[in-house]
């Protein structure tokens, strides 16, 4: 007997199907609720609404579990390369050696970007935010590949778009960095692996052939990209799916995801964390004062990098990244004063009843910024690195939605505005 949920409205009982996911999660299927009862459900911010079924990522916020296609994030971060994880997310299985080589080779075919794209930098004001630039550049890719505009035209064109996006994203991110510094662009070097190539395009120089990224940094970057690769139906992934549901092309859908990621409550938090730590340091390092401010409901200040919509125990990515952070700083011999503030803040927040009661723990963004800073990235570049990591996740979410031919996303609302009223001509409005 399939499980059902009963709902009584105006004395009439309705039965609704209950769905169970492969990890035992339960959902009441309300898709027919309005037809049956005339009612919709109201859930502002989708705090309790499943927008899709998905076979990509499993997350249990209470137990602190994160798995991609069944593999734990701990295993992937420790044992896989970023491109292996990208392949896994996109295809559902880990690649064989031959599949991996083929995937990597195909990506390498597309690492250059059209020279015309460089012209866009002339239009960006000096010092403009790298995320604004990344949104524009990603969106502009659609203009260079008009055949990609219809995502339902042919699978071949879509597959090429997927490879192009994965291949060009590091090149574009590195171009943004170089242009910011007024340095000439370093072209991709296809003899290097994905992460080393990105680091070379960013920190290498056209006048130097022998830049070799420190293996500690390559390893840390690889882990950071993996930890950011997907996170099921978060704000940016839902945005990508929502925009894609109107059958917008993948470049535009991805650009929309990057825009959603930019916000300080989402990916933009990694920049905010570092700015907050700097602020506390410059203010004299009185951590207790800032914890008190975060708890004060009359003060808008929040501890950036703390709390998460779904993790209410711990963020498994934060555990992995904390260790990477210690490793990187130790191996590079960096003594960063903001790290001391970060440690004190973490300790104070984790022992304070306000944070314990609300289950507010450090999230992935709390530590990632410290590593990015140690590697040498400017603060406002941190969210770009998050976007680069999240790309295979967005694409996988978009592909799943497209292949399942999901309908256009269109939430409903409860109108709470004015009742009908007659129009009054301007001269009679008093």
Give residues in contact with ligand ACO (CB under 6 A): 265-267, 269, 294, 302-309, 358, 360, 363-365
For the CB of residue 354, give the shortest distance to ligand ACO in the complex, in Å. 7
Tell me the closest approach of the beta carbon of residue 18 to ligand ACO, in angstroms: 25
DSSP label at residue 311:
-
Q: CA-to-CA distance for 85 and 87, rounded, in angstroms? A: 5
- Which residues face 12 on adjacent strands? 9
| 3-state SS string for 98-121 | HHHHHHHHHHHCCCCCCHHHHHHH
Distance in Å, CB of 110 to ligand ACO, minimum: 28
Angle 151-153-156 (CA atoms, 0-180°, nearest 5)? 85
Give whichever of 244 and 307 is closer to ligand ACO, judged by the CB atom: 307
Q: Measured from the CB atom, is 203 or 262 closer to ligand ACO?
A: 262
Half-sphere exposure of 195 (CA within 13 A, CB side): 22
Q: Which residue is nearest to ligand ACO (CB)?
A: 307
- In terms of CB distance, is 189 or 302 closer to ligand ACO? 302
Instruction: Give me the least distance between CB of 360 and ligand ACO, in Å please.
Output: 5
Shortest separation between residue 205's beta carbon and ligand ACO, angstroms: 32
Active site (annotated) includes residue 35 = no
CA distance 325 to 369: 9
Nearest to 285 by CA among 343, 371, 326, 333: 343
Please check whether residue 72 is in contact with residue 66, taking contact to mean a CB–CB distance below 8 angstroms. Answer: yes
Closest contact distance (angstroms) between CB of 287 and ligand ACO is 14
Looking at the Cβ atoms of 164 and 266, the one nearer to ligand ACO is 266
Min separation Cβ 272 and ligand ACO, Å: 7
Q: Around 175, how many Cα atoms within 13 Å sit in the side-chain half-sphere?
A: 24
Angle at 104 between CA 103 and CA 109, to 5 degrees: 100
User: Considering beta carbons, is residue 108 or 231 the nearer one to ligand ACO?
Assistant: 231
Torsion of CA 283, 288, 289, 291, to 10 degrees: 110
Nearer to ligand ACO by Cβ, of 214 and 232: the residue is: 232
Instruction: Indicate the residue among 43 and 105 with the shorter CB distance to ligand ACO.
Output: 43
Residues 6+ apart with CB under 8 A from 330: none
Residue nearer to ligand ACO on the CB measure, 253 or 368: 368
Is 365 tagged catalytic? yes
Q: Of 68, 230, 266, 365, which one is the catalytic site residue? A: 365
Distance CA 393, CA 88 (A): 10
Give first-to-last CA distance, the chain, whole Å: 66
Q: Is the dihedral of CA 152, 154, 160, 162 positive or negative?
A: positive
Residue 69 CB neighbours (<10 A): 19
Look-up: residue for tokens 């507010």?
Answer: 360
Which distant-in-sequence residues (6+ apart) come within 8 Å of 6 by Cβ? 13, 14, 15, 16
Tell me which of 308, 315, 327, 352 is the catalytic residue: 308
Q: Tally the C-alpha atoms within 13 A of residue 324's C-alpha that lie toward its C-beta.
A: 32
**Shortest approach of ligand ACO to residue 278 CB, angstroms?**
16
Bridge partner residues of 306 (DSSP): 362
The residues that are catalytic are 308, 365
């Amino acid at each position: 007997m399939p499980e059902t949920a009963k709902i009584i409205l105006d004395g009439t009982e309705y039965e609704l199907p209950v769905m169970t996911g492969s990890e035992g999660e339960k959902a009441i299927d309300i898709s027919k609720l309005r037809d049956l009862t005339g009612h919709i459900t109201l859930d502002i911010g989708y705090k309790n609404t499943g927008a899709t079924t998905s076979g990509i990522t499993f997350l249990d916020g209470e137990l602190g579990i994160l798995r991609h296609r069944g593999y734990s994030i701990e295993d992937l971060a420790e044992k896989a390369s970023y491109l292996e994880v990208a392949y896994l997310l996109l295809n559902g299985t880990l690649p064989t050696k031959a599949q991996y080589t083929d995937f990597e080779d195909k990506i390498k075919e597309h690492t250059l970007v059209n020279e015309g794209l460089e012209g866009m930098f002339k239009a960006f004001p000096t010092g403009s935010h790298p995320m604004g630039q990344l949104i524009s550049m990603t969106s502009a890719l659609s203009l260079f590949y008009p055949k990609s505009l219809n995502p339902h035209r042919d699978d071949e064109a879509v597959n090429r778009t997927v490879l192009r996006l994965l291949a060009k994203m590091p090149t574009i991110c590195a171009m943004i960095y170089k242009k910011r510094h007024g340095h000439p662009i370093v072209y991709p070097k296809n003899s290097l692996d994905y992460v080393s190539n990105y680091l070379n395009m960013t920190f290498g120089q056209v006048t130097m052939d022998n830049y070799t990224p420190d293996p500690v940094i390559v390893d840390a970057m690889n882990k950071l990209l993996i930890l950011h690769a997907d996170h099921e139906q978060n704000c940016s992934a839902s945005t990508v799916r929502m925009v894609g549901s109107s059958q917008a092309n993948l470049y535009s859908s991805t650009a929309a995801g990057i825009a959603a990621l930019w916000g300080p409550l989402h990916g933009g938090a990694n920049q905010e964390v570092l700015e907050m730590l700097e602020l506390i340091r410059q203010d004299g390092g009185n951590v207790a004062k800032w914890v008190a401010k975060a708890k004060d409901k009359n003060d808008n200040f929040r501890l950036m990098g703390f709390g998460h919509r779904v993790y209410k125990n711990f963020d498994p990515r934060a555990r992995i990244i904390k260790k990477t952070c210690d490793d990187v700083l130790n191996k590079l011999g960096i003594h960063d004063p903001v790290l001391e503030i970060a440690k004190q803040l973490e300790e104070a927040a984790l022992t304070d009843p306000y944070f314990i009661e609300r289950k507010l723990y450090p999230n992935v963004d709390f530590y990632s910024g410290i590593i990015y800073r140690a590697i040498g990235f400017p603060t406002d570049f941190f969210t770009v690195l998050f976007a680069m990591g999240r790309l295979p996740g967005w694409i996988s979410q978009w592909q799943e939605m497209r292949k399942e031919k999901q309908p256009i996303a269109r939430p409903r609302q409860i109108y709470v505005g004015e009742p009908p009223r007659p129009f009054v001509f301007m001269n009679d409005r008093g």
